[in-house]
Amino acid sequence: MNPSHFDVRHLDGLKQATRGKGPDASPCNACSVRHLAFCASLDDQELHQLSAILSGVELTPGDPLFDEGEPAEYLFNVTAGAMKVYKLLPDGRRQITGFLFAGDFLGLANDETYAYSAEAITHVALCRFPRRKLDVLLEHFPKLERRLLSMASNELAASQEQMLLLGRKNAKEKIVSFLLSLSERAVRRGQRDNPVNVPMIRTDIGDYLGLTTETVSRTFTQLKTSSLISLLPGGKVQLAETEKLRDVAEGL
């Protein structure tokens, strides 16, 4: 709860990504995730206009950002940390539909409400854009809309990959696919690929892969035993023989 206690390890780029709330010089210029985010398509001048409607949000682990069914008033851009988005069934069964990291956006909804809930895993920093105001900017900057479409299109491809995983892969293939995908996304953010950072707990991994915590744990143990991975302190996982892992992920 105490904001001075937050864990700096996960705050890649928070310092630089912090936005002022006042009308001072566009904080976006200094944003470390600008090249990853949906604002990447804008020049400095346009970015300034975008920064005028934005406000900063910070969350501590476990904080909800919004819940499924809430009016979708904002679109968000993660600038630091890790989040999960999920859907629930009435009896409590949960499917995590995605993990979000720096550069990812969330809140897209052309229904008037959010289709999923979002919650912080680590300490998180976000840019928040009121949809109504953002829509006006979108009309002015078609480039922004194009970039959004491009990112949505990427997400769609990722969703399809995830459906393949959920529908047709076994536990081992699921876990290995998951680790490889985390590694690849880290690379895209300019981070190291190999000791891959796994900030989420077993339950979250299970709810993402359609497994139980126990099965996730057992599968990790099994992969460890067959020397395909090793678990490092601090939630890091060392991948041995990426090539071999890529085969395992596809059932070869």
Partner DNA sequence: CGGGAAGTTGAAGAGCGTCAAAAGTAGTGG
Partner DNA sequence: CCACTACTTTTGACGCTCTTCAACTTCCCG
Closest distance between DNA and the C-beta of residue 111, in Å? 29
Q: Quick check: helix, strand or coil at residue 178?
A: helix
Q: Give, as ranges, the residues between 209 and 248 that touch DNA (CB under 7 A).
A: 210-218, 220-221, 231, 233-235
**Interface with DNA includes 166 (CB under 7 A)?**
no
Q: Which does 72 bind (CB under 5 to 8 A by kind): DNA, its own copies, none?
A: none
The tokens describing 7, both together, are 């864990």
Give φ, ψ of 86 to 5 degrees.
Answer: -150, 160
Q: Which does 111 bind (CB under 5 to 8 A by kind): DNA, its own copies, none?
A: its own copies
Q: Is the dihedral of CA 135, 140, 146, 148 positive or negative?
A: negative
Candidates 159, 66, 72, 142; CA nearest to 109 is: 72
Q: Quick check: helix, strand or coil at residue 99?
A: strand
| Residue found by looking up tokens 């919004």 in the block | 66
**Interface with its own copies includes 243 (CB under 8 A)?**
no
The smaller minimum CB distance to its own copies, of residues 11 and 148, is found at 148
Q: Which does 171 bind (CB under 5 to 8 A by kind): DNA, its own copies, none?
A: DNA
Q: Give, as ranges, the residues between 46 and 105 that touch its own copies (CB under 8 A).
A: 87, 89-91, 93-95, 97
Candidates 239, 155, 159; CA nearest to 197 is: 239
The footprint of DNA (CB under 7 A) covers 1, 5, 7, 170-172, 201-203, 210-218, 220-221, 231, 233-235
